Structure 1
C-alpha cells in the first residue's frame, strides 16, 4: 500500500517522540519513588455503582461487576465498545446480523447470540449493536450473569451500562480533548470533543453540553480482478467489466454527535432531567478483511462502493422524587435509529452461476442495499427504599414497544435476463421452471419486513438482613411479550414473490435468590441462583429454488415436507437459562488491594439457534440445550501512591449438551463466539517530574483465547490473539498531553465472521478484525 509523505513523516515523528518519552519518563522513575515514599499513601478509591438500581460500593454488591470510571476510560483512550470490552473477563465479541452497523452481538459468560446481552445508556435499554462514542461518560458497568429480575429480556447473559455525567448546579467548568494519529495500512485519524457544565440558577437549574466529531482512515484497498475461470471448461476468461486502478482506504469513516442534558428542581425534593443524544457515522466501505484477518486487499470484479451510514437519537426524561422512606424514579425515553448499507454481490452471484447452477456468465455489477428504521418507546417507574431497619426493597413497572422496518430495496443485476437467455435460449430466464424466476427483469432480491414487539413487566427485589452480617435477597420479574411480523419478498434469490406473517405471545416469571455474608469488614461472600430469558420472534422465507438442496436435508426430499418445515418454523419461542453463582470480594493490605473471584454454572434450554444456510438465507429455531461453566478473578492494586495495577482473568467452557435435532450440530460442539480464556492487565504510574509537572506511563494488555464461529453451516476456529497498548505523557495543572501506540505488536485478530448483507461467497469469508497499529497524540484540557 502506498502512503502519503505527510503520513510517513507523522509516523516517524510520533514514533520517535513516543519512544523518547518512554525512556525519559522511565529514567525519572527512581527519583519519583523516593519522593512518593515521603508522602502518605491514599490507597484504592472507593467505586460506587448502581447495578442493583440503588447506590452501593463495588465491593458491597452481591454480583460479579466490572466498573470502569471516567478517568480510567480517558487514560486508556477508550473510544467505543471494543476499547473497554477487552478489560472485562468472559466478555466475547460476535456478529449476528448483516453488515456492519447492526451486527455487534457481545456475549457474556458464553451466552452467545443476538439479544443475549442487555445494553443500557443510563436507564434506557438500547440495541446492543449501536456503537456510541465513549464521551462524557461517568463510568461503565458490566454486570455478568442473567439480570432477569431488574433488567428483563435481552439480559440473559448479562448487562452493559453506560452511565453518563450529570449536570451540577453550582459550578461552571468544562473540558476539551483532541487526538491526531496515523494507522498502519492507512493514513490519518482525528477526533475532537468538548463538554461544558453551565449553572443557570443556583441549586435549581443546570445544563451540560457535549459535542464531538472525527474521522478514521480506511485500511483496506480494492483491487481489480482481470480474469476468471470457466468452471465447466476450465478456460481462463477475461473480465469484461471496466478495469480500475487500485482504490485505496475504501473503508474510511467520519462521525459526529452531541448531547444536551438539563437538571431542574421542579419542586421540593423533585428533580426533572431531560436529555437528548445524537450520533451519526458515515462510512465509505465495510471494514472487513477477506479470507484472513491480515489481508488488507479486497479483490473485486467491479469498483463498487460499499457505503453506509448509521444515525440515531435518544430523547429521555427522568423524574426523581426523594422521600424520607426512599426514592421514586420514573424514566420515559424514545429512541430513533436509521441505518443503511451497501454491499457488492456480483462476486457471489458470479460464483453461484459459474460453480453451482452451471451457467458461466460474464460478471455483471450488482450492488445490494439494506436499510433499517428502528424505534423504541420505553417507560419504567420504580421505588427504591431507604428504610430504617433490616428490610429494603425495590419495586417497579416496565413497558417497551419497539418497531423495526427492515428493507432491501429492489436489487438489480442489469443485463442478467439477457445474459441467461443468450447462454441457454430465449425466455429461459423468466420461465420459473429451470430455477430462474426472473419474471421482473434483472431483479435479484427485494424485501419489506415489519417487526413489532411489546413487553410488559412488573419487577422487584427484597433484601432482609438476617443478622448484622448476613442478608438474603429474593426477587423476580413477571413479564408478558407480544411479537408480530409481516414479511413480503420477491426476486430471483427469493424464488419469486412470497408473503409471510406470524405472531407470538408469551408470559412468565424470572426468579432470583441470593444470600450474602460479611465474613469480616474486608471480606464479603455471596451465592445466587437466577433465571434469564430472551424474547422469541418470527422468521422470514427460506426460498425453494435457491435453498432446495438444504431444505432436503433439513426437512426431507419432497416439496410437501419443505412446506411443513417452513410452516413449523414460522415462529420461534423465547429461550431461557438458570445460572448458579458463588463469589467472594475482598479488600486486602490496608486497602492497597482488592481481589474478587466468582464461579458459575449455567444450564441453557430451548436455545434460539441462528441457522445460516449456504444459499444466503437463515432461520431461527428453538433446539437443544447447553451448559456453561467457568470462573473469573479480578484484582486491583495500588502498592504505592501513583501506581495502579489491574488484572482480570476469565474462563468459560461452553458446549452443546443436547443438539435438539439441528442439522450440523452435535453434542460437545463449542458455543460460537465464546473465547475459552480472557486475560486483561493494566498498569498506570503517575509520578512528579517537577513542582508543577507530573509524568504518566501506562500499559494495557489483553489476551483472548481461541473460539469458534459459524457461517453457511461451517464451524471455524478463531485463533487466540493478544494486543498491547502503550501511553506516555505529562500532566500540568489542567493539561494532559499523551503519546500513544495502540496495538503495538500490530496484531490482526479474527474477532468474528460477518454474514455479509448478501451472502458469503464460498472461499471468501469476510472477517471482523481490529485496527492495525496506531500511533498518535492525545491532548486534553480542563477549564
Structure 2
C-alpha cells in the first residue's frame, strides 16, 4: 500500500476513533455477559449437513452473516470474494460478464469449486445478487464426500432466509450513487415475511431492481472509415430478480418450496482494452455488443425431524440462458484482407439441470453420529454460434452447435465417533458413477465443416478422514485428509484436420477424444480458538494438496483446443482469520491467506512448464476491517475494510505468452445513522479508485493481436443508501 494511501486511511481511522469515543450503548462488563454476547454473535453453519457453531466444525470455513452482508453493503460475488482468504477468481469463459471461475487454495480450473444456493448445486459462473440471505459459507479444501465432484477445491454456499410463521417482518432499501468515469447508479430492493397460519404456514418474498452506469466510451479508431464521435457509457447494465417461498411446519415436518429468478442485460461488454483503467474502446464502427444472462431456479426441500435425526429431501430444477455478442470487424479485416466491413459475432448458451438429494443426518446425542445419503443430477449445456456473415464477402465465417450432457449418481456417508471425551474421529466416503456425452457440429469458412460425438464414463470412491480434539471450552484442534475429484469430459475437434497437430504433441485422435477426471489429496491441520474471555476469536489452518492427472488445455496448430490429462501440481500454504471485540464500541476483523501453487510435472505440455505457478492464483490475499459504534447525538455505525490480492498470471504460464495480473488493493468505507426503523448510509466503494485487473476475458472470435480485453474493478463509487425495517 502506498504511503499516501496509508496516510489517508490512517486519517480516516483517527476520525472514526474520535467519533467512537462515546459508546452507542452501555454494556455490562462482567465476564458472563461478555461470553453470552460473544456466543450470541457466533455464526451457526450447516457445512457438515447439520447445524453447528462455525467454531465447532473441523474445516477451514469463512462464514459471513446476513447482518455483516448488510452492514458492509455486499451485493454480489466480487464484494464478498475479497473477504475470503485464499479465494481467487478469473474469467475464463467467453459468455457472460459474470462468468467467474473460482479458485480455492490454488485448485484452478472449471468445475473445481462447488457453488450451492441452499441445497441446490449451481454452475460456479453464476452470480446471484446477495439479498435476504441468512449467511454465506465458504468451505476450503475438498468437499467431495458431502458435495461431490464439483467441490474439488472447496465449496461456496449461499443460505437464504426461510419463511417464519411466527412474525410479520418487512424491509425496503433504496440506493443512489455515482461512479467515476461513469454516471449515476440506482437500485431498490424489498423483502417481506407474512405468517398465513400462526406458527404453521408463512410466505416470504423478496425482489430487487438495479441500474448500473457504463464506464467505457467507444470512439472511432484512427483506421475507422468515418468518425462517429464518442459514444459514452456503452456498457450500462440492468438487473432485476426475486424470490418467493412458502414454509409449512407441523408435527416435525417442514416443507419449503421456493422459486427464484434473475434477469440481467448489458448494453455492451464491460471490458477494458489492453490495460485495466483504460476507459476508451477505439473501434472501426459504432457497433454495440449487447448481452443478457437470465436464470430460473425452483427448489423443494422437505425435512422430517424423527427425534433421532433429520431426513431431508432436496429437489432443484435450474435453467439459464446467456446471450453475448462481439464486434469482430478488425479481426475480419485482418483474416480476409478486405476493406473495413461492419461485422458482429453472436453466441448463446442454454444450461439446464435437475438434481435430487435424499439424506439422513442423525442426532443421537451419544458417541456416534451418521450422515448418509443418495444424490442424482442430470444436466445439459448447449453452446450455439449461429451463422456469422461477413456482409458482401461470405455468408458464414463460423457457426457451431455443441451439446454436452452429464449424469451423476452417488451414494455418500460420513460417520463421527467419540471414543473418549473431547475427541471425535470422522470417516466418510462418496461412491460415484458419472457419464458425459457430447454431440456437435461446426461450419463456416474459418474451419473445416465437421460433426463430433463422444461418450466418457467413470466411477470411483472418494474418502475423507478427520480427527478433532477439544482443548477446553475455547479451543479445538483438528487434522484431516480428503480426496477430491473433477469429472472428465469429451473434446470437440476435426479428426482429419487435426491428426497432424495431435501427432506433433504425441497424441492420436483416439487419445484426444475424451479426458478422464483429475484428482487430488488434501492434508490439513488447523485450530479454532477464542481468547480474552472470548473477545478474541483466532482460527488458522495449514494445508498441502497433491494434484494428479491434472486436466490441462492444449492449443493445436489446426485451430482447435483440447483438454488432456497429464502432469502433477502441488499447492501448499495456510490461512488465518480473527476478530476482536477491542472495546464495547470497536470491533476488528482480519484475515490472511498464503498459497504456493505450482506445476511439479507439466507432462510435456509447453504451456505448463515445471515449477510455474498455477494460473489465476495469487500467493497472498489479505483483508482487514473495523466497525465502530458511536453516538455523537445519534446512534452511528462506521465501517471500513481493506483488501489486498497479490500478483498472479492468466491465460498461459509459458514465459513467452503468459500475462501478469498485478497486485491490487481495494478500500471501502461506510457510515450508517440509525434512526429508529430507518438506517441511512453514506458509502465509498474503491475509495482510492484502484484499477484492478481481475482477468483477461477470452474473445468470442479471435483476440486481436496486442489487444486483450480486461475485466476490471469498478472505479470509485460514492453513494447514499436508505433502509427501512418494519
Provide the TM-score with structure 1 as the length reference: 0.88
Q: Report the Cα distance in structure 1 between the residues aligned to 2:496 and 2:330, rounded to whole angstroms.
A: 22
Question: What residue in structure 1 maps to residue 227 of structure 2?
Answer: 243
Equivalenced residue count is: 711
Determine if the alignment matches structure 1 residue 294 to structure 2 residue 247: no
Paired position in structure 1 for 2:6 = none
User: Structure 1 residue 619: deviation in Å?
Assistant: 2.0
Match of 1:426 in 2: none
Q: Which residue of 2 aligns with 1:98?
A: 94
**Equivalent of residue 556 in structure 1, options 504, 509, 515:** 504
Q: Which residue in 2 is equivalent to 1:422?
A: none
Structure-to-structure mapping, 1:118-157, within 5 angstroms: 118-157=114-153
1:213/1:22 CA distance change after superposition, 3 Å = farther
Deviations along 1:149-196, one digit per CA (max 9) or x if unpaired, are: 000011000000000000101200110111100001100111100000
TM superposition shift of 1:34: 10
- Cα distance change on mapping 1:605 and 1:20 into 2, 3 Å: closer
Where does residue 546 of structure 2 map in the other structure? 603
Moved more, 398-407 or 96-105: 96-105
CA shift, 1:89, in A, is 0.4
1:518 equivalent in alignment to 2:470: yes
Q: 1:34 to 1:99 in 2, by over 3 A?
A: closer
Q: Is the Cα–Cα contact under 8 Å of residues 151 and 484 in structure 2 kept in the other structure?
A: yes
CA 1:315–1:34 in structure 2 vs 1: closer, same or farther (change >3 Å)?
A: closer
How many Å separate the matches in 1 of 2:297 and 2:432?
25
SS in 1 for 2:21: helix
1:408 aligns with 2:382: no
Q: What CA deviation, in whole Å up to 9, does each residue of 1:464-500 have, x standing for no partner?
A: 00211111000010000000010100012223x1011
Report the Cα offset of residue 303 of structure 1: 1.1
Tell me which of 486, 491, 494 is aligned to 1:539: 491
* 2:346 corresponds to: 369
Counterpart secondary structure, 2:541: strand
Q: Are the equivalent residues in 2 in contact too, given 1:612–1:711 (CA < 8 A)?
A: no
Aligned equivalent of 2:520:
577
Contact between 1:582 and 1:600, CA under 8 Å: does it hold in 2? yes
Per-residue deviation, residues 356-378 of structure 1 (Å, max 9, x unmatched): xxxx3212221111101111000
Superposed displacement of residue 58, structure 1: 0.7
Q: Give distance in 2, aligned partners of 1:512 and 1:543.
A: 41
**1:320 matched to which residue of 2?**
303
| Matched-pair contact (CA < 8 Å) for 1:493–1:543 | no
Measured in 1, the distance between the counterparts of 2:718 and 2:494 equals 47
CA separation of 1:251 and 1:565: change in aligned 2, threshold 3 A: farther
**Cα distance 1:613–1:197, how it changes in 2: closer, same or farther (>3 A)?**
farther
Q: How does 1:550-699 map to 2 (within 5 A)?
A: 555-556=503-504, 565-612=508-555, 617-690=560-633, 693-699=634-640
Aligned partner (choices 305, 312, 317) of residue 334 of structure 1: 317
Pick the aligned partner of 2:643 from 670, 692, 702: 702
Specify the SS of the correspondent of 1:149. helix
Q: Summarize the alignment of residues 12-411 of structure 1 with structure 2, pairs less than 5 Å apart.
A: 27-32=18-23, 41=34, 42-43=37-38, 45-101=41-97, 103-227=99-223, 239-240=224-225, 242-265=226-249, 268-353=251-336, 360-411=337-388
**Do the aligned partners of residues 20 and 390 (structure 1) sit closer, same or farther apart at CA in structure 2, a change above 3 Å counting?**
closer
Deviation at 1:544, TM superposition (A): 7.8
Counterparts of 2:251 and 2:451 in 1: how far apart (Å)?
A: 57
Q: Distance in 2 between matches of 1:23 and 1:718?
A: 33
How far did 1:552 drift?
Answer: 6.0
1:299-349 per-position Cα deviation (integer Å, ceiling 9, x unaligned): 111111110011101011111100111100101110011111101112223
Aligned partners of 2:501 and 2:556 also within 8 Å: no
Quote the offset at 1:415 in angstroms. Answer: 2.0
Whole-Å Cα distance in 1 between the matches of residues 673 and 565 of structure 2? 55
Deviations 1:22-49 (A, max 9, x none): 9986543323389669896534611100
The answer as to whether partners of 1:542 and 1:618 remain within 8 angstroms in 2 is no
Alignment check: 8 A CA contact 2:117 2:159 kept: yes
Rg larger in structure: 1
* Cα distance in 2, alignment partners of residues 223 and 592 from structure 1: 56
1:255-310 deviation per Cα after TM superposition (whole angstroms, max 9, x unaligned): 00010010113x52112100000100010111111100011111111111110011
Q: Is the 8 A contact 2:97 2:270 kept in 1?
A: no
So what's the TM-score if we normalise by structure 2? Answer: 0.94
**Which of 442, 446, 455 is equivalent to 2:399?**
446
More divergent stretch after superposition (604-613 vs 379-388) = 604-613
- Alpha-carbon distance in 2 for matches of 1:442, 1:505: 39
Closer, same or farther in 2 for the Cα pair 1:763/1:20, shift >3 Å?
closer
Q: How does 1:751-770 map to 2 (within 5 A)?
A: 751-770=694-713
Residue by residue, what CA displacement relative to the aligned partner does 1:78-104 show, whole Å, maximum 9, x if unpaired?
A: 010110010000000112211334631
466, 486, 498: which one pairs with 2:450?
A: 498
Partners of 2:464 and 2:342 lie apart in 1 by 55
Which string of whole-angstrom CA distances, capped at 9 and with x for unpartnered residues, describes residues 528-568 of structure 1? Answer: 000011111111226987xx7xx8665339xxx8xx64442
Equivalent-residue separation in structure 2 for 1:732 and 1:38 (angstroms): 26
Contact 1:613 1:712 in 2 (8 A): no
Q: Secondary structure at the match of 1:731?
A: strand
**How has the CA–CA distance of structure 1 residues 754 and 26 changed in structure 2, closer, same or farther, with 3 Å as cutoff?**
same
**Matched residue, 1:434:** none
Contact map agreement 2:268 2:288 (CA 8 A) in 1: yes
Return the alpha-carbon distance in structure 2 between the equivalents of residues 712 and 652 of structure 1: 17
Distance of 1:484 and 1:102 partners within structure 2: 27
Mapped to 1, the partners of 2:674 and 2:24 lie a distance apart of 17
Q: State the partner residue of 1:480.
A: 433
Give the whole-Å Cα distance in 1 for the aligned partners of 2:533 and 2:174: 38
**Contact 1:255-1:280 within 8 A present in 2 as well:** yes
Instruction: Provide Cα deviations, 1:215-267, integer angstroms capped at 9, x if missing partner.
Output: 0000011111232xxxxxxxxxxx44x431111111100000010010113x5
Distance 1:611 1:645, change over 3 A: farther
User: Which residue of the partner structure matches residue 3 of structure 2?
Assistant: none
Question: Within 5 A, what are the aligned runs for 1:430-445?
Answer: 441-445=394-398
Q: Distance in 2 between matches of 1:613 and 1:175?
A: 55
Q: Distance in 1 between matches of 2:24 and 2:154?
A: 41
Aligned-partner Cα distance in 2 for 1:256–1:34:
38
Could you tell me which runs of 5 or more consecutive residues in structure 2 were left unpaired when the two chains were aligned: 1-8
636-645 or 335-344: bigger deviation = 636-645
**Contact 2:697 2:710 survives alignment (8 Å):** yes
- Of 417, 426, 439, 1:464 maps to 417
